[in-house]
Structure 1
Amino acid sequence: MTTAIDTATPQVAALKERETLRLCTAGSVDDGKSTFVGRLLYDTKSVLADQVESMERSSADRGFDGMDLSLLVDGLRAEREQGITIDVAYRYFATDKRTFILADTPGHVQYTRNTVTGMSTSQVVVLLIDARYGVVEQTRRHLNVAALLGVRHVILAVNKIDLVDYDEATFRAIEEDFHSIANRLGITDSTVVPISALKGDNVVEPSTNMDWYTGPTVLEVLESIPVTGGRAEELAFRFPIQYVIREHASDYRGYAGRVKAGSIAVGDEVTAPHGRTTTVTNIDTTDGPADAARAGDSIVLRLADEIDLARGDLLAAGPRPEPVREFVATAVVLTEKDLTPGQMLKLRYGAAQVKARITSVDRILDLDGVADTDNPEKATLNDIAHITLQTAQELPVEDYAARGAVGNFLLIDQSSGNTLAAGFVGQRLR
């Protein structure tokens, strides 16, 4: 005889309504990110029994004393052989309070571009450092990237605290150093937690080895941070047109795309390029007509007036960004092809793609905080650089905001089509 599960109970209903938080890990090589993620998955019981058995066998074969939790996440052969994380891998786990999507990013400096990818969709960054070495260059690099991407919640996990005998003075010195950098970059919502991913201290369960620490575990912080969409809904309406839909038989004309910021409702007034103003008459979705839409929704807008619009054009409400042909930005170089003054390339902003030229490379940020390099000859792989760009045609760019809702772009090599850099309009750190 089997017993049916009552899916209408308050407990089951609450589980179904759990919010999802997106986070990523970052840190230097050998700071223990893979072990940390493995511990998080293992202690939240998010690992299948056969995975645990396989991990135990592999740990024993390697002569590991106990369980090598990093084996749960370093899935690529090259990662296992080298003992490092190479690619971004997404992990999923859940607790009674919420569900999580975790981007496990590489720590090696040559894979900083992968870390940018992982951070770009995350609300929270868990930044690991080795308690023996404290804040290092990669720590500063990742904090700069987090600030550029608009991440405001950073959890500094001071790992391997057991290797410094759970020393409070060591922890407090690292905490002070970290807060001084984070505050300067505008990262004001941060928490510092002493942990041992290997031993399990303060990752999921509170530690019994540090009477001097009375704060939350990493998981408790993750469960308490409010889930937001990067405040995109608080901005003015922005709708880059991705496709124009025409049906001549029915005289249907709609403009398809994704609402990047703000919200829109039937009857609202929007402005098109060249200052044309019109009214939204219909909002079509895959589920049928809708009265309104908000940031993140994919929709088709129909307008009261026939206006000549094409892919890449921007429909907006409220103050419309002024089209410009030159602007300043910050770029993270993602490939081994340098960015140089005078270089011609393609710039993708929203759904628009135009030819552009790097007018100047104005500064390379020194991530050790010693001295930036002004007017360098080039920006190379993994550099964070202030640049000035000139476009072949006017673009309605605006300052980067709300984790990429507006103001982000890509620089693309004209010959190969490879993405050279990720850019942020108007962002000037330090």
Structure 2
Amino acid sequence: MSTPSTTQDSVYQTDALIAADIDAYLVRHQHKSLLRFITCGSVDDGKSTLIGRLLYDSKMIFEDQLAALEADSKKVGTQGQEIDFALLVDGLAAEREQGITIDVAYRFFATEKRKFIVADTPGHEQYTRNMVTGASTADLAVILIDARKGVLTQTRRHGYLAHLIGIRNLVLAVNKMDLIGYDQARYDAIVDDYRAFAKSIGITHFVPMPISGFKGDNITAPSPNTPWYTGPTLMAHLETVELDTMADQAKPFRLPVQWVNRPNLDFRGFAGLIASGVVKPGDAVRVLPSGKTSTVTRVVTFDGDLPQAVAGQSVTLCFADEIDCSRGDVITKAEEPTQVADQFEATIVWMNDEALVPGRPYWLKIGTQTVTARLQAPEYQINVNTLEHLAVKTLELNAIGVAKLTLERAIPFEPYADNRALGGFILIDKFSNATVAAGMLQFSLRRAQNVHWQALDVTREVRAGLKGQQPSVLWFTGLSGSGKSTIANLVEKKLAHLGKHTFLLDGDNIRHGLNKDLGFTQADRIENIRRIGEVARLMTDAGLIVLTAFISPFRAERELVRSMLPAGEFIEIFIDTPLAIAEKRDVKGLYKKARSGELPNFTGIDSPYEAPESPQIRIDTTSMSAEAAADLIVSRLLDR
């Protein structure tokens, strides 16, 4: 019988052995290459089952997980098999109940040759945006096809998206071969069908293989059921496929700056992940978009300085000169700068339930940069089945199209085909903060590179000084019939009486000239306000106080105009009149026509009005006369 001390010693020895095993495991796997890949395809092609099989065969399942998996498999029932491998990946309750994948599931596993991160992406069309998310960081895509169904629309869509996103390593896994008796003729027909589609979209190479995730055929070992197949198993291919790391190192040096590393007064460096190329101390570098140059003095990492750093490494660069460099800038070799532009043609994958609104400002996030962007109406939408270019006015959920976009300022970039980090972007709704689209920059528009700001000697400050006033935009917003034009007109009269230089832009008047080509659709309303904002900005540059009276129903567009002006010069005035009162007034008879269907897209009836959340001035017309409102506004303006 063991004494307590002997037992304790035994425990210590066991713990030491376990710790030694863990250390040995970590050392063994530390220097292996990492392959990120996705499984994609149509609904119920067996993506989750395949990943579960890979995890199981690579012995990446703990005993308690296996026991739980066996118990869960018995609950759902699995065609006589003890284990339902899909349950390893379908973690959401809704997924298990419906037998489908909804969200992207990421799993890690490793073999003796390589480490892997696999993303199981949904097959349903409504979750195409989730597939794009999973594919955005992948090196390889396994496109599954149900051998019974062949090539489907969603198969084509996922194949097109994988190629569009830049995945060049493709595996065509014809799954469920066991359900067609391992029929070679059927397999060959599917491969030929997909090859024709792949060729039409520019895919020059893919690796086809017949598999069964359910039975394990050709997953980790050659299957006796397919003696006619002489290619690699799926695992063998995943372990040996060449990655793009070396190709990225051969490209020009690019480092998007993530943050300025300033732990103390004696150290200043610029940290980020090297997107491509190689850098070392002594290299002459250029910071874009400013164009400032310097020389690298140190390449710093957590583990110490490096004599050289390559694509894929996170480093901090120190410069010989104190030049301006901040988050969002891109560091390049001095002799190999990237392009800088503010207008592009881009491919867009729309990922939001609400359709694209041309002209609306969105946040564009590309690399470490975030900038306001506006999309024009799409040039065309792509039919993934026929590759036909369809004429459309907008993009709906999961649509793929090509459109021009304009940014508020120039950014350093590269075409997506050359550099995914500097050419791939997402669009974010400014108010909901939801990601609405993913996109790929194709090229800059020539005019973006040829048009430059002309420096002027007489500035807006000089012009304002000559007039003895502070330029401002008084932006009156509210429903039709709220009294905007009446109050704005009174305000201008009072300002003119005080000797102020003003100009009133009225909604109806502007539509007789500058904006007579615009209708009242949501897109046209947005363009209407954008043009007015540009005119108002030019007038404030002339030193004027500009008054505008427009419904301007959308917050995003009002904020766009605010962003055009210096801080404090945009004064939002909300003429707050309830719809019932505005409709009762109906001076122009517009509400009556809208109610009868003669005026479609009329604000307040069948088109929304987004009231200001925090206007600088709010006028309640139910308790204040137009004259009193005008006096209040002038008083507030003079107080400034």
Q: Is TM (by shorter chain) over 0.5?
A: yes
Query: Match of 1:261?
Result: 276
Q: 1:356 aligns with which of 367, 370, 373?
A: 373
- Any idea what SS the aligned residue of 2:401 has? strand
Which one of the candidate residues 65, 72, 75 is aligned to 1:58?
72
Contact 1:152 1:188 (C-alpha < 8 Å) held by counterparts = no
Q: What pairs up with 1:359-374 in 2 under 5 angstroms?
A: 359-369=376-386, 371-374=388-391
Q: 1:85 matched to which residue of 2?
A: 101
**3-state SS of 2:326 partner:** coil
In 2, are the aligned partners of 1:153 and 1:187 still within 8 Å (CA)? no
Q: What's the secondary structure of 1:187's corresponding residue?
A: coil
In the alignment, the residues of structure 2 paired with residue 301 and residue 18 of structure 1 have an alpha-carbon distance, to the nearest angstrom, of 26
Aligned to 2:121: 105
From 19, 36, 42, give the equivalent of 2:50: 36
Q: State the SS of the aligned residue for 2:230.
A: coil
Aligned to 2:354: 337
> Structure 2 CA distance, aligned partners of 1:220 and 1:162?
21
- Report the more deviating stretch, 131-140 or 209-218: 209-218
Change (3 A) 1:97 1:255: closer
1:138 shift after superposition = 1.1
Cα pair 1:44 1:95 within 8 Å, conserved? yes
Q: Which runs of 5+ in 1 are unaligned?
A: none
Question: What does residue 39 of structure 2 align with?
Answer: 25
Alpha-carbon contact 2:417-2:442 (below 8 Å) kept: no
CA-to-aligned-CA distance 1:68-113 (integer Å, 9 cap, x gap)? 2212221111111111011111112222322222111111111111
Aligned to 2:293: 277
- Determine if contact 2:58/2:109 at 8 Å carries over to the other structure: yes
Judge conservation of contact 1:27–1:142 (CA < 8 Å) in 2. yes
Structure 1 residue 305 displacement after superposition: 2.2
In 1, Cα distance between the equivalents of 2:50 and 2:191?
19
Q: Secondary structure at the match of 1:169?
A: helix
Higher relative contact order (CA 8 A, sep 6+): 1
CA 173–378 in structure 1, closer or farther in 2 if over 3 Å, else same = same
Match of 1:408 among 424, 442, 450: 424
Residue of structure 1 in register with 2:467 after alignment = none
| Structure 2 gap ranges (5+) | 1-9, 445-640
The separation in 2 between residues aligned to 1:189 and 1:300, in whole angstroms, is: 38
In 2, are the aligned partners of 1:349 and 1:408 still within 8 Å (CA)? yes
Q: How does 1:279-318 map to 2 (within 5 A)?
A: 279-317=295-333, 318=335
Rounded to whole Å, the distance in 1 between the matches of 2:229 and 2:145 is: 18
Q: Contact between 2:329 and 2:412, CA under 8 Å: does it hold in 1?
A: no
Question: How has the CA–CA distance of structure 1 residues 399 and 83 changed in structure 2, closer, same or farther, with 3 Å as cutoff?
Answer: same
2:422 aligned counterpart, secondary structure: coil
Q: Secondary structure at 2:101's aligned position in 1? A: coil
Per-residue CA deviations over 1:126-181 (Å, capped at 9, x if unaligned) read 11111111111111111111112211111111111222222111111111121222
Query: In the alignment, residue 342 of structure 2 is paired with which amino acid?
Result: R
Amino acid at match of 1:196: S
| Counterpart in the other structure of 2:173 | 157
Q: Which has the higher strand share?
A: 1
Amino acid at match of 2:149: Y
C-alpha distance in 1, partners of 2:129/2:26?
40
SS of residue matched to 1:360? coil
* Alpha-carbon distance in 2 for matches of 1:12, 1:326: 47
Q: Of the candidates 135, 144, 148, which is equivalent to residue 128 of structure 1?
A: 144
Decide whether aligned partners of structure 1 residues 79 and 88 sit closer, same or farther in structure 2, where only a CA change above 3 A counts.
same
1:284-318 deviations in Å (ceiling 9; x for gaps)? 22223333222222222222222233322222114
Distance in structure 2 (CA, Å) of the matches to 1:415 and 1:12: 45
Per-residue deviation, 1:386: 1.0
CA drift of 1:403 comes to 6.6
Judge which range, 215-224 or 396-405, deviates more: 396-405
Aligned amino acid, residue 434 of structure 2: N
Within 1, Cα distance between the matches of 2:183 and 2:317? 60
> 1:129 touches 1:158 (CA, 8 Å); kept in 2?
yes
Equivalent residue for 1:219, pick from 220, 231, 235: 235
Cα distance change on mapping 1:41 and 1:403 into 2, 3 Å: farther
Give the number of equivalent residue pairs: 426
Q: Which SS does the other structure have where 2:245 is aligned? A: coil
The answer to whether the Cα contact below 8 Å between 1:239 and 1:315 also exists between their aligned partners in 2 is: yes
Shift of 1:337: 2.6
Counterpart amino acid of 2:74? A
Cα 1:411–1:13 change in 2 (3 A) is closer
Q: Does structure 2 retain, via aligned residues, the 8 Å contact 1:151–1:403? A: no
Counterpart AA for 1:286: F
Q: Which has the larger radius of gyration?
A: 2
Residues 94, 281 of structure 1: alpha-carbon distance in 2 compared, 3 angstrom cutoff: closer
8 Å contact kept, 2:175–2:212: yes
Q: Aligned partner of 1:134: which letter?
A: G
Q: Which residues of 2 match residues 171-182 of structure 1 at below 5 A? A: 171-182=187-198
**Shift in Å at residue 277 of structure 1?**
2.2
CA shift in 2, pair 1:188/1:403, >3 Å: farther
Matches of 1:45 and 1:240, distance apart in 2: 39
Matching residue's letter, 1:337: E
The alpha carbon displacement at 1:261 in A equals 1.7
Check the 8 A contact 1:233/1:294 in 2, yes or no: yes
Contact kept, 8 Å, 2:260 with 2:326, in 1: the verdict is yes
Contact 2:142–2:173 (Cα < 8 Å) also in 1: yes
For the pair 1:183 / 2:199, whether they are aligned, the reply is yes
- Work out the CA distance in 2 between the residues paired with 1:402 and 1:108: 31
Aligned residue type for 1:262: G
Deviation at 1:247, TM superposition (A): 6.8
TM-score w.r.t. length of structure 1 = 0.91
CA distance in 1, matches of 2:331, 2:66: 52
**Residue 321 of structure 1 aligns with which residue?**
338
SS of 1:386's partner is strand
Deviation at residue 397 of structure 1 after TM alignment: 1.9
- CA–CA distance in 1 between the matches of 2:261 and 2:396? 42
CA distance in 2, matches of 1:328, 1:46: 45
Distance 2:154 2:342 in 1: 35
